[in-house]
Amino acid sequence: MSAAAHAVSEGIGIAHLSHRYPGAAAPALDDVSLEIPAGSSFGLLGPNGAGKTTLLSILMGLQRPQSGTVRVTGLDVARATRRVRGLSALVPQDQAFYLQLSGLENLRFFADVYGLSAAQWRDRLDYVTRVCGLQELLGKRSQDYSGGMKRRLNLAIGLLNAPRILYLDEPTVGIDAISRQVIIAAIQALRATGTTLIYTSHYMEEVEAICDQIAVINHGRVMARDSTANLLHQKAGKTLLLRFAAPPGSAALAALAGWSPVALPDGQYELMLRDAGQLALVVEACRAHWLQIEQLQFGVSRLERIYLELLK
């Protein structure tokens, strides 16, 4: 068996998975097949209602697939549900803990539910509070935490049983920059330990930073599946990123229309060139319209653009 094939057999294999909820017009999952190598950091992207949460539920053994097979670390999820769950943990997008309990009481409760021994509990408590930056908060009732702190506690609970596979369902939605940084750093630290991460998010920068593999799913179907590097590279040779000193007027944008300019959330503009030879033409067009270029990057692609194109 090759090294790659072995990694997949210890990772996650999904074959022809379909699922339709009773009364639903369209299937939530429609013939989904994916291979996720062990130890990889896998981004599962898609708009709301694309089927991501259903896929996570089936991978965790919380829902039975109507057709197809799912193997996690070589185990058939439908037959070895309890063993599969024992290897995994879920960090849901909701704050799935008890607001009336303190951080420590929540962690203790979930540790007992996982069946951790006293020694394991001490070790894991030390680890999760350090990694998630919860040391100062443990004694406080979690209802008094900020949104970001609650997200950190949500993640910490998911790390208690040292899972081999961690499912993160939008773990940073709606939080402040510091808490996001703490959570992303904690997830990066997990990557280093060889934990397989399945990560869903609408924040493409995070996915770019965290995930080495990506699948885009929409209407229950896989639209694209590749390594992050490959996806970004596909269009990288043709992409020009420009930052102007002042926002361009409509006449200037009309002059650039031939390169399909797209305004990005960070204020930059992305243009698609046929080749590097067109760079001079773009610069000339900007100068003709008194557009002062502050920053110019060629050959760099952005996941957000690729994602939106795939969903078109």
Site for other proteins, rule CB under 8 A = 57, 60-63, 82, 85-86, 88-90, 92-98, 100-101, 105, 108-110, 112-115, 157, 161
Taking the CB of residue 190, how many other CB atoms lie within 10 A of it? 22
* CB nearer other proteins, residue 61 or residue 261: 61
Rounded to the nearest whole angstrom, what is the least distance from the CB of residue 169 to other proteins in the complex? Answer: 9
* CB nearer other proteins, residue 56 or residue 252: 56
* CB nearer other proteins, residue 85 or residue 140: 85
* CB nearer other proteins, residue 60 or residue 252: 60
Rounded to the nearest whole angstrom, what is the least distance from the CB of residue 223 to other proteins in the complex? Answer: 26
Rounded to the nearest whole angstrom, what is the least distance from the CB of residue 73 to other proteins in the complex? Answer: 16
Rounded to the nearest whole angstrom, what is the least distance from the CB of residue 82 to other proteins in the complex? Answer: 5
Rounded to the nearest whole angstrom, what is the least distance from the CB of residue 7 to other proteins in the complex? Answer: 24
* CB nearer other proteins, residue 22 or residue 277: 22
